[in-house]
Amino acid sequence: MSQEIVTRAEAGVSTISFNRLERKNSINGAMYAALAEALSAAATDPSIRVAVLQGHETVFSAGNDLSDFAKAPATDSESPAFPFMRALAVFPKPLLAAVCGPAVGIGTTMLLHCDIVYAGDNAAFTMPFVNLGLCPEAASSLLLPQLIGYHRAAEALLFGEPLSADAALEVGLVNKVLSTSQVNAFTQAQAAKLAAKPISSLVEIKRLMKGGQQGAVLQRMDDEGSIFKRMLVEPAAKEAFSAFLQKRKPDFSTIGPAFPLPSGR
């Protein structure tokens, strides 16, 4: 398992931590594989009742490692992120997240699969896919409108601008905002409370609340993935990644649609 993903099991709680602070916990292929492995292990281990995702007090995750991603985008074979996203979608036990600092891209969309999210007052949630010439992933195009309403989701995804911790609390993306120094410890205490409860009840309550939506979520992940791969090789994404590597602002002004627009009739 990647040393940049650290897991710890204690008293029925599996804590999965991002450990790549020098790169703002950005996620590369090895880390995605380790995350998927950690979730799958927690799902099948009878001694584990609850799982927790957490980062550092200064940053949760900067999302995809764009340097790694721009040099070797997954356009032909399955993205290494997909097994992780699917593991999130099918995880049967309570899944909590402790989020401090930036949560970018999949750093935010993974939270849509968590059952409870606690945030530090320094948290900022950003889904900047539009700024990269891409579309959303992790079934966020389905789950975000369901969670916060269509118009708020449209604002978040079409502008790609950050939501503060307080704004995320207002729209229901997080359960509680605490001081940064309290978040991880508070989340662990809440996870311990859940781990003391009967696992059969925890699993059935989650299954019933999800309402049989798992198939639709997995299908949306596949649909988004197909579009994402197509968009990776289109001019807007190429300009966005070139600008990133050259440390300049992208210019989309001369780039038209890569497909015919609907007539509206």
DSSP string, 96-139: EEEE-SEEETHHHHGGGG-SEEEEETT-EEE--GGGGT----TT
Q: Can you give the pLDDT at residue 256?
A: 82
CA pair distance 261, 236, nearest whole angstrom: 16
CB neighbours (10 Å) of residue 258?
A: 13
* Residue 193, domain member (yes or no): no
pLDDT per residue rounded down to tens, the chain (265 residues): 679 999 999 999 999 999 999 999 999 999 999 999 999 999 999 999 999 999 999 999 999 998 776 665 555 457 889 999 999 999 999 999 999 999 999 999 999 999 999 999 999 999 999 999 999 999 999 999 999 999 999 999 999 999 999 999 999 999 999 999 999 999 999 999 999 999 999 999 999 999 889 999 999 999 999 999 999 999 999 999 899 889 999 999 998 887 666 665 5
Retrieve residue 135's tokens: 């579309």
pLDDT value of residue 260: 66
- The reply to whether 244 falls in a domain is no
pLDDT value at residue 148: 97
How far apart are the C-alpha atoms of 187 and 98, rounded to whole Å?
A: 6
Does residue 260 fall inside a structural domain? no
22: containing domain = 5-179+198-210
Tally of domains in the chain: 1
* Mean of pLDDT over the chain: 93
Tens of pLDDT, residue by residue over 242-262, are: 998 899 999 999 988 876 666
Rounded to whole angstroms, the Cα distance separating 255 from 234 reads: 10
Query: Is residue 163 within 8 Å of residue 137, measured between CB atoms?
Result: no
**Biggest distance spanned by C-alpha atoms of the chain:** 60
* 30 in a structural domain: yes
In a domain, 67, yes or no: yes
**Residue 193: which H helix or E strand, with range?**
helix 183-195
| pLDDT for res 155 | 97
The model's pTM is 0.94
| 148 phi, psi to nearest 5 deg | -115, 0
Q: Over the stretch 74-106, which tens digit does the pLDDT of each residue have?
A: 554 578 899 999 999 999 999 999 999 999 999
Both tokens of residue 139? Answer: 């079934």
- Quote the tokens at residue 106: 């999949």
Strand-pairing partners, residue 124, are 102, 164
Task: Note whether residue 261 is domain-resident.
Answer: no
Q: Can you state the percent helix, strand and coil of the chain, rounding each to 5? A: 50, 15, 35
Task: Determine the pLDDT at residue 50.
Answer: 98
Would residue 243 count as lying in a domain?
Answer: no
- Say which CATH number the domain at 157 has: 3.90.226.10
CA distance 55 to 203: 25
pLDDT of residue 225: 95
Close Cβ partners of 220 (under 8 Å, ≥ 6 residues apart): 139, 141, 142
Res 77: pLDDT: 53
Does 234 reside within a domain?
A: no
Q: What's the rounded Cα separation, in Å, for the pair 160 and 3?
A: 31
Give the span between the Cα atoms of 242 and 255, in whole angstroms: 14
CA 245 to chain centre: 23
